[in-house]
Amino acid sequence: GQQLNQSPQSMFIQEGEDVSMNCTSSSIFNTWLWYKQDPGEGPVLLIALYKAGELTSNGRLTAQFGITRKDSFLNISASIPSDVGIYFCAGQSWGGGKLIFGQGTELSVKP
């Protein structure tokens, strides 16, 4: 199935460090969404981006919609243990509906 290229696949960091992950696509998207998934649960929406170049923050999280409309990144500042989980990017074409997901970035935070 179709997937976005998300990197890195996994990260092991120390508490307090900043984290950066990104997604790239060969297709243009109208919307970029970032989700976090904990074991045994569904993905939780973190940030939604709707315009090329848009930079949006949600607490310690910051995400940007790439100018080319083919990429997006997510930064987490001053990581804490509860940031542990799998982060997914998702792109959506004009018209809404179907989301195309990245493979996920598994984040581990050492206290």
Partner 1 sequence: KAGVTQTPRYLIKTRGQQVTLSCSPISGHRSVSWYQQTPGQGLQFLFEYFSETQRNKGNFPGRFSGRQFSNSRSEMNVSTLELGDSALYLCASSPILTGADEQYFGPGTRLTVT
Binding residues for partner 1, per CB under 8 A?
1, 3, 30-31, 33, 35, 40-45, 48, 50, 88, 90, 92, 94-104
Residue from 8, 97, 106, 26 nearest 66 by CA? 26
Contacts of 1 (CB under 8 A, 6+ apart): none
Residue from 41, 53, 48, 108 nearest 81 by CA? 108
Give min distance, CB of 56 to partner 1, in A.
Answer: 12
Give min distance, CB of 15 to partner 1, in A.
Answer: 27
Q: Which helix (H) or strand (E) is 61 found in, with range?
A: strand 61-65
Which residue lies nearer to partner 1 by CB, 59 or 97? 97
Which residue lies nearer to partner 1 by CB, 40 or 111? 40
Give min distance, CB of 50 to partner 1, in A.
Answer: 5
Which residue lies nearer to partner 1 by CB, 57 or 110? 57
Q: Which backbone phi and psi does 82 adopt, to 5 degrees? A: -75, -5
Which residue lies nearer to partner 1 by CB, 54 or 75? 54
Q: Does residue 6 sit in helix, strand or coil?
A: strand
Give min distance, CB of 40 to partner 1, in A.
Answer: 8
